[in-house]
Each structure stands twice: as C-alpha cells, then as structure tokens.
Amino acid sequence: MTWSTADIPDLTGRRALVTGATSGLGYETALELLRHGAEVLIAARNPEKAARSAADLKQASGREPIVVELDLADLTSVEKAADQVAKTYDKLDLLVNNAGVMATPYRQTADGFELQIGTNHLGHFALTGRLLPLLLKAPSSRVVTVSSFMHKTVRAIHEADFRRPEQGYSKWVAYGKSKLANVLFMLELDRRVRAAGTNLLSAGAHPGYASTHLQTHGPKLAGRSFEARIWTGINKLVAQPAAAGAWPSLYAATNPDLRPGSYVGPGFLEYRGKPAIVLPTRTAQDPALAERLWTWSVEATGVDPVLTVLR
C-alpha cells in the first residue's frame, strides 16, 4: 500500500476524541487529525501532561486541541468525562480508543480490576458505551480501538481475568488478554452497531512495534529503572518511530473506503511500515467469546452499550 498521511482527507467539521494523546501513538494520531482540520479532544489523566501536550500539539499543527480529564482506570472518572463531553457537544464523529499500559506489575484500578484489562479494555468499553449516543448523532461516525500483535500470544479470556488470578500473575499474559479483549470488543461492536442499523463503523488497528513510553512505563512502575533503560535502548535499535506507529490508527480512522470491522496493522510482517489490512487470530474473531466478554464487561462496568444504542 502506498498510503501516506497526505492521503488523509480534509476533516474540517469533524470532531474526534483520542485517549492517551499525552504520549506516543495517541499524540501522533491527534497531531495528524488536527493537521487535517478536525476538532480534537485529547482525553488524559494527568492535567499537567495534558496541558503540555496541548501546547505542543498547537505549536506543531497551528490548531488547539481541547483537554478532557479522563482516567480510564477509574470508572467514575470515565462517567464524568463522558458526561462532560455529552453536555458540551452535539455530536462526536470519531473516538480513538488508544490509551494503554503494558506489562505492569500487579496493580488494581480504582474499581478493583487488574490494571491492564481495567485500563485497556474495561475503561474503553465504558467510555465507548457512554459516548455512543453522541457518536450516533454524527452523520457517519467511527470507533477505532487500538490493539497489539501481542493479542496473538493468548488463546482465551475469562471473566476471572478481570480480577487477581488465583494462581500467579503474569504481566505479559495479562497484557495479551487485554489486547485480545480490544479486538473481541471491536468486532462485537461492529456486529452490534450493524445489526442495529446505525451509521457507526467500528474498526481496529495495531502499530507493530513503535518507540513510545509504553515499554518503560511498566518497569518504572515496578521500580526497575535498569530494565526501563534497556527497553529504551532496544527501542532505539529496532522500533519504528511513534509517528509511523500511528499510521494504522490514522488509516482506520480516516480511510473513506474502510470496511466495517477491519483490522489495520503495519504491512511489513505486521512489524513496521505502511498500513495494511491484517487478520486477528481465530480466537479474537470468535463471536461467541466476544459476546461473553461483552456480557462480563457490562456487568463489570455497569455500562450497557447495546441498550444505549437501541434507546
């Protein structure tokens, strides 16, 4: 594929919300959306970081993003953020579920869920559900959910994975499961919004391997600064720049011919390069598992996106 960011259409009049835009792929995604004329809301948990990113984005694009305070690891914060957006705006054209944490030591969200599944999946599940009415007010809207090649490393997910495992905790297995949940959710949302006859398109993306703060956040949280430095070195050697890592998300968010339920990744071995349509694993495409995950997520978050769509 010869796609480049120059192929992103004019987005004037379109409003986007990007989670995790204080760093890495989310920042680069927000930047290109701004450069192409969109109004961009950056949802972030750290107000100082958000203010710095907003200033940087304004300087780089000439357009000022709007900051929305959001901690995905706290369902009350998700509710507040969604309420604020719903009260302020008449429609939302694009939601990019991008924020994430990787390979963190065992920690819990404010609501007692394992941190990675709680942030990467349950927070975004609740956010999407709460923003659906606003998304459905746009003439044609999209939700792009960012997953990872790492979803391929796990073959199952259970409701028990939302909580502390009875035996042992593997930070990599927990990350893989959270990213499997991202794809299952993206595809189940696609099936549900199409069955309901809505104008919303659900798609997924993954960046391959991009140099961001993702790799150092977990070790830093565990107090392992040496491991964080090693990751920084590995990133310099083998990762693509964050800007290139954002291409699949941008393609999924803006390509006018994208088919619903598409999953976009880097074309070269799903590791780096120009975006291409790629395939999630068979487990990630299992509709029965996706339906179960949906039910568990409704119970865990108290947000029922299906009812919101049909209401």
Q: Does 26 bind ligand NAP (CB under 6 A)?
A: yes
Give the C-alpha separation, 61 to 232, whole Å.
27
Is 220 a known active-site residue? Answer: no
Q: Alpha-carbon distance 24 to 20, whole Å? A: 8
Binding mask 223-262 for ligand NAP (x = CB under 6 A): ----------------------x-----------------
Give the CA count within 13 Å in the CB-facing half-sphere of 31. Answer: 20
The reply to whether 179 belongs to the active site is yes
Question: Is there a catalytic annotation at residue 175?
Answer: yes
Q: Can residue 45 be called a binding residue for ligand NAP (CB under 6 A)?
A: yes
Give the span between the Cα atoms of 112 and 98, in whole angstroms. 22
Angle at 44 between CA 260 and CA 7, to 5 degrees: 40
Q: Does 177 bind ligand NAP (CB under 6 A)?
A: no
C-alpha closest to that of 101 among 114, 121, 116, 117: 116
**Which run of H or of E encompasses 144?**
strand 141-146
In this structure, the strands spanning 15-19 and 263-268 are: unpaired
Closest residue to ligand NAP, judged by C-beta, is 24
Please, what is the minimum distance in Å from the beta carbon of residue 151 to ligand NAP? 9
Lay out the site mask for ligand NAP across 192-211 (x = CB under 6 A, - = otherwise). Answer: --------------xx-xx-
Shortest separation between residue 245's beta carbon and ligand NAP, angstroms:
6
SS3 assignment, position 93: coil
Determine the interface stretch with ligand NAP among 94-102, 189-197, 254-262, 295-303 (rule: CB under 6 A): 94-102
User: By the criterion CB under 6 A, which residues form the site for ligand NAP?
Assistant: 19-20, 22-26, 44-46, 49, 70-73, 98-102, 119-120, 146, 148, 206-207, 209-210, 212-214, 217, 245
Catalytic residue IDs = 147, 175, 179
